Structure 1
């Protein structure tokens, strides 16, 4: 038997940073975003021994453990070890991990990998959890057990999937509001958006730490910026539901300018140049995805200038990505491993079935 877990990566439109403690505990936070058709995958092949072998296909890394040992979090595939502990996996297996985007891309990769791991392991163990329980567990393992800096949004976005307005009312008090957006609006929004890789990998922990410190020190501009970012998330939700997409695009610009005031580490000259080139070519607004410092830029461009924006961003060193929205959340399924034995594949073609005559 092969058990697979898959979770979608996400793009956030507004509210980023307000889902991070202590701001969300003291004031409440709000995020608007959607998942996209780029994924984190986990495959598990159970074994009849105590050996656990983990293969990271993206990093060409293999690490081996014993199912009976006490895991040490030493920076080598700690997400896997923490997930094994969380679901009390005490049987040997092979685990394969693969993600469609690198760490530091701003698409929530580490949290999405965690969700795919837990989905596959829960399926294997026969553990039933609803979406809230799964997202809560993923947050607990990543943020509290491993101490990885970040907010709440990524685990919930990956688990629930689709367009959501997520509110954070306090510690472990999260409400996911699925947005019922007309299909025509979703199609038009996707057509008018560009996803551009900046070429920089960010270190989100450093940026989040700086943002949190600015808030704790009550730096007036940083605190005001967080309040603005939260308010703009509500405004984006309203404009998106109404289908006022050009207004939505302009709100992205307002949100980006507010977010940059939360920490001086959020942007850099390369990112600013890409953004400015896009606006000069006709983009109404956009934002850097994730904590900042690198990763992907999301730009809203009216359809008649989108090609010009794309050309200017590529000339400035940006790398455009092919993508679309994904409305489904995390999933897990099983397959008979014998059907995927590639060592001795034999296919018999019925005689005459493909005898075409021109």
Structure 2
């Protein structure tokens, strides 16, 4: 195992049906589907063999280097949060019994707290990199299930499953749940890629968020039988199914407004999903006409969002973002893996 191993995995943009990927909400609501895509923004993991009885973890994003001895990987240390912010990575290493002799260099590929599922993409990319380094065959779905379980353990609340799939499958995905499995529908076409890239702008608000906290509030409200939350999520499922059918029938003209409509439903449903600055931008866009839409990425409260628009509106959007001190994140839709 002397060779350097490099693995990349896409962070995702969720188009429609986020939050519906929380178990068992995904089975309680009828006709659930979550639609997302793999972006050219990539989590990257480089594993290098080193002569050290332990593991060195280098974060390119935070410019930090941490070393852990092999004897640090104990149940007691995991229980006591010994690994701090690197617990997720440490637990994935521990899953493979890889406790020594490697340096792991990590780069997230997206801004912190962006709402693009960056931590989840990093998790499955780490899993893939370690398995590749150790020459251990693995199934993508099994990798997703294991990493999802670890992440839920760490954030101490349910973790949706949609964020992991684009990193290992690529393309444009429809995720349809049934008991014990998630059907992965690959929807990618070159035409759909062009439509999405020309009609959707990905924006980073500059404000970080915590998806676990927001999702937990939704989760509690759902199981407290909050009628508005249940009706809102059911409508999001309805819009997601319409979008799936639009893609499958190549009715792309209908698809783009559905993304904006899902964003409106989500905004009405969850207080605080838009920050004050994002809400002001939203009002400006609404005043410009119905061809503009806005859809939060992830659980909201900051992070990234989508603006849907005509291709000719790109210059106006860039000017507007400069005014609001926000940043467009250029991306391409990745082809299937």
TM-score, scaled relative to structure 1: 0.85
1:205-220 residue pairs with structure 2 within 5 A? 205-220=212-227
Give the distance between the partners of 1:53 and 1:313, measured in 2 at CA: 39
Question: Alignment partner of 2:68: what SS?
Answer: strand
- Aligned partner of 1:5 in structure 2 is 7
TM-aligned CA deviation for residue 146 of structure 1:
5.9
Question: Alignment partner of 1:7: what SS?
Answer: strand
Render the CA deviation track for 1:189-235: whole Å, top value 9, x for unaligned. 21121111112111112111111111011111111010111111111
Give the distance between the partners of 1:102 and 1:304, measured in 2 at CA: 27
Question: Alignment partner of 2:85: what SS?
Answer: coil
Give the distance between the partners of 2:256 and 2:188, measured in 1 at CA: 19
Pick the aligned partner of 2:203 from 196, 210, 213.
196
Unaligned runs of 5+ in 2: none
Pick the aligned partner of 2:237 from 230, 253, 276.
230
Give the distance between the partners of 1:260 and 1:247, measured in 2 at CA: 21
Pick the aligned partner of 1:88 from 93, 97, 108.
97
- Aligned partner of 2:35 in structure 1 is 32
- Aligned partner of 2:18 in structure 1 is 16
TM-aligned CA deviation for residue 2 of structure 1:
0.7
- Aligned partner of 1:347 in structure 2 is none
Render the CA deviation track for 1:46-77: whole Å, top value 9, x for unaligned. 23441211111111122111123314334331
Render the CA deviation track for 1:56-101: whole Å, top value 9, x for unaligned. 1111122111123314334331121111111111332111111121
CA RMSD of aligned residues (A): 1.9
1:1-358 residue pairs with structure 2 within 5 A? 1-27=3-29, 29-69=32-72, 70=74, 71-72=77-78, 73-74=81-82, 75-144=84-153, 147=156, 149-170=158-179, 172-181=180-189, 183-282=190-289, 283-329=291-337
Between Structure 1 and Structure 2, the one with more helix by share is: 2
Give the distance between the partners of 2:156 and 2:165, measured in 1 at CA: 18
> Which has the greater radius of gyration?
1
Give the distance between the partners of 2:195 and 2:262, measured in 1 at CA: 21
Question: Alignment partner of 1:77: what SS?
Answer: helix
With over 3 angstroms needed to count, the CA separation of the structure-2 counterparts of 1:286 and 1:248, relative to structure 1, is: farther
CA contact (8 A) 2:187 2:247 kept: no
TM-aligned CA deviation for residue 158 of structure 1:
1.8
> Bigger shift: 201-210 or 307-316?
307-316
CA contact (8 A) 2:56 2:68 kept: yes
Unaligned runs of 5+ in 1: 330-358
Give the distance between the partners of 2:44 and 2:157, measured in 1 at CA: 20
